[in-house]
């Protein structure tokens, strides 16, 4: 009798946890589809190859985007992949039809090839955009 009660309890708990997880999964899928369809930022270039740059000379790379949506876009965060890449960006809301920029300044301290990223978070997209800069320090 005790074994039957424990089995019934285990079955009831597993059914409760399954039914609680199922709606969360479907909500997450719907949210991703809606956010992807509503993307309103068009980047001029997502990867910039600066070629050869001299050692010891910081190199500024400018990424431009246009707001193609119907509402203003705000850049909420910009983060370089390492301490060797400083960032700056447009702080004001970017109105529909207008363009803005994100600047990444790479400190070319070490010789050799490099590939760095800049992660940009905006109010228009649920997933941050990862921009790439690459080149060779001579």
pLDDT score recorded for residue 12: 54
Q: State how far the Cα of 20 lies from the Cα of 62, in Å rounded to an integer.
A: 46
Q: State how far the Cα of 56 lies from the Cα of 24, in Å rounded to an integer.
A: 51
What phi and psi, each to the nearest 5 degrees, are found at residue 55? -65, 140
Q: Which of 90, 85, 79 shows the shortest CA–CA distance to 120?
A: 79
pLDDT digits (tens, 9 = 90+) for 2-58: 555 555 555 554 545 444 444 444 444 444 434 444 558 999 999 999 999 999 889
Q: State how far the Cα of 12 lies from the Cα of 55, in Å rounded to an integer.
A: 66
Q: State how far the Cα of 85 lies from the Cα of 21, in Å rounded to an integer.
A: 41
């Amino acid at each position: 009798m005790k074994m039957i009660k424990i089995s019934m309890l285990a079955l009831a708990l597993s059914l409760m946890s399954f039914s609680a997880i199922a709606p969360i999964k479907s909500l997450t899928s719907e949210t991703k589809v809606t956010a992807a369809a509503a993307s309103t930022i068009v980047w001029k270039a997502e990867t910039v190859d600066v070629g050869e740059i001299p050692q010891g000379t910081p190199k500024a790379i400018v990424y431009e985007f246009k707001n193609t949506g119907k509402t203003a876009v705000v850049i909420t965060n910009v983060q370089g992949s390492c301490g060797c890449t400083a960032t700056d960006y447009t702080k004001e809301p970017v109105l529909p039809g207008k363009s803005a920029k994100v600047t990444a300044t790479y400190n070319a301290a070490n010789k050799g090839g490099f590939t760095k990223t800049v992660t940009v978070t905006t109010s228009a997209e649920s997933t941050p955009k990862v921009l790439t800069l690459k080149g060779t320090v001579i």
